[in-house]
Amino acid sequence: MPRTRKDEAPIALDHPVIEGRYVELDGYTVSFESFHVAADATPLFVGLPDDRCQCPHWGVVVSGAVTVRYAGGEETFRAGDAYYMRPGHVNEVTAGTEVVEFSPTAELQKTMAVMGENMAKAEAAS
């Protein structure tokens, strides 16, 4: 059976805002993400349909809080909460938030490609 642990997952994203560790397990990506500062990911989704993440995510908030906004409202998940983010969301995290998340790899890769381009553009402009 496929498995992983945070301490075994390689650091794929080391940024002042986020440290991301990602492992692909049988068509799903397990993400271990730690946010050093509060962040609103909305600008990173520009270019995706409706400028919102179209990838579903299942996860657990280890610490901090995640607020997820949909066209029809929002919800906040806090430490200890298990969650499901349906497609069509944007999200915001508090400083010190840590999540373990599971996402379909193919959909996540499409999203991460756009987010990476938007991060690069933002860094070049600053």
- pLDDT, tens digit, 9 for 90 and up, residues 61-114: 999 999 999 999 999 999 999 999 999 999 999 999 999 999 999 999 999 999
Per-residue pLDDT, 91: 97
**In the CATH hierarchy, which fold is given to the domain comprising 6-125?**
Jelly Rolls (2.60.120)
Three-state DSSP at 51 gives helix
Secondary structure (3-state) at 105: helix
- pLDDT number for residue 93: 98
Amino acid at the residue 56: P
Q: Residue 32's beta-bridge partner residues?
A: 21, 100
Tell me the mean pLDDT in the region 42-47.
Answer: 96
Q: How many helices (H) and strands (E) are present in the chain, helices listed first?
A: 1, 10
Are 20 and 32 contacting, i.e. CB atoms less than 8 angstroms apart?
yes
What residue has token string 């301490």?
7
In the prediction, which pLDDT does 122 show? 87
Q: pLDDT digits over 64-79, tens only?
A: 999 999 999 999 999 9
Contact, 96 vs 17, CB < 8 A?
no
Ordered by start, the domain boundaries in the chain are: 6-125
Predicted structure pTM score: 0.94
Q: Are 97 and 65 in contact (CB under 8 A)?
A: yes
**Residue 2 confidence (pLDDT):** 87
For residues 43-71, give the mean pLDDT.
97
